[in-house]
Amino acid sequence: MAVETVLGEVAHGGHVVARIDGKVTFVTGGLPGERVEVEVTERGKRFDRGHVTSVLEAHAERVTPPCPIAGLCGGCDWQHAGPGLQRELKRRVVAEQLQRLAGIEWDGEVEEVGPVWHWRTRMHYRVADGEPGLLAARSHTVVPLPEEGCRIAVTPRPEVPAGASELRVVDAASGHEEFVPGKAGGRVITERADGRDHRLAADGFWQVHPRAADVLVDAVVRSLQPGEGERAVDLYCGVGLFAGALA
């Protein structure tokens, strides 16, 4: 049964916070300040989870999601918000986390790094009835891709090998790779950032946005302004993205 409520502030993970019957409820599909009807989908000791079923008073920057399965699959959290509001919501999440966890007051901005569509270079597709899909949020249910495929993926609709139940797709600087999870077969790919080539396993970690590595290296080097003779420790360094740039 849906409950009428007014949504509060944004929280990590694409949620806004509501208090339903005095209990904190993390709600998807809503925006701060909206009056909505919420269906509680999970109940816990400390908090519940829910999803907006009806918007009674919408936020001024609410939009119709461009993707027809937005809100069904577990991928994009904020397609029902305009681009400017999306950046502001993400800024609030970062600011809240810094303040709560580290006592740091931050009033910076979240900047867009284009492109808006077809940028995600790592995808994990599930297969249902021979067709690729994506998992619904907090579920093992496979949501079939729309006809045009996933709008944020570099490869929006891959060809599924016969008999496969899952498929990983990697669009690296060195080329396109597809493999069944756990069966990358020792494949090595090359990614390029800050003028350097980085070799890593096809199923290893690399930033999913093609411009992210360069943007992050630039931010670190500009902030640290490293000088000759100084020392730095790159913790959890992976392929050594920051260590290479600092060296």
For residue 114, pLDDT beyond 90: no
Do residues 137 and 189 both lie within one domain? yes
Q: What are the DSSP calls for 216-238, one per residue?
A: HHHHHHHHH---TT-----TT-T
Number of domains in the chain: 3
Do residues 87 and 33 both lie within one domain? yes
Do residues 143 and 191 both lie within one domain? yes
Q: What is the reported pLDDT for 237?
A: 87
Residue with tokens 């599909």: 29
Q: What is the reported pLDDT for 1?
A: 84
Q: For residues 184 and 210, what is the distance between their CA atoms, to the nearest angstrom?
A: 21
Q: What is the reported pLDDT for 40?
A: 96
Torsion sign across C-alpha atoms 156, 158, 163, 165: negative
SS3 11: strand
Nearest by Cα to 210 from 127, 87, 120, 134: 120
Quickly state the pLDDT bin for 32 (edges 50, 70, 90).
Answer: very high
How many other C-beta atoms lie within 10 A of the C-beta of residue 196? 14
Do residues 10 and 53 both lie within one domain? yes
Rg of the chain over Cα atoms, rounded to whole angstroms, equals 21
Nearest by Cα to 94 from 108, 84, 80: 108
Quickly state the pLDDT bin for 201 (edges 50, 70, 90).
Answer: very high
Range of the domain at 19: 2-67+77-98
Q: For residues 178 and 171, what is the distance between their CA atoms, to the nearest angstrom?
A: 9
By CB neighbour count within 10 A (0-12 exposed, 13-18 middle, 19+ buried), where does 225 fall?
Answer: exposed
Do residues 195 and 217 both lie within one domain? no
Q: What are the DSSP calls for 97-154, one per residue?
A: HHHHHH-------PPP-S-SSS-B-EEEEEEETTEEEEEBTTS-PEEEPPTT--TTBS
Considering the chain, what percentage of its residues have pLDDT values greater than 90? 91
- Report the CATH number at residue 28: 2.40.50.140
- The CA–CA distances, whole Å, from 244 to 73, 205, 217, 219, 240 equal 37, 16, 10, 14, 6
Partners of 198 in the β-ladder: 191
Do residues 89 and 17 both lie within one domain? yes
Do residues 222 and 197 both lie within one domain? no
Position 113 in a domain: no
Digit-coded pLDDT (tens) for 33-67: 999 999 999 999 999 999 999 999 999 999 999 99
For residue 74, pLDDT beyond 90: no
Position 239 in a domain: yes
Do residues 238 and 178 both lie within one domain? no
By CB neighbour count within 10 A (0-12 exposed, 13-18 middle, 19+ buried), where does 210 fall?
Answer: buried
Query: What is the average pLDDT across 102-107?
Result: 96
Do residues 48 and 92 both lie within one domain? yes
Pairing of strands 48-57, 23-28: parallel
Q: What is the reported pLDDT for 29?
A: 97
Do residues 94 and 6 both lie within one domain? yes
Do residues 43 and 91 both lie within one domain? yes
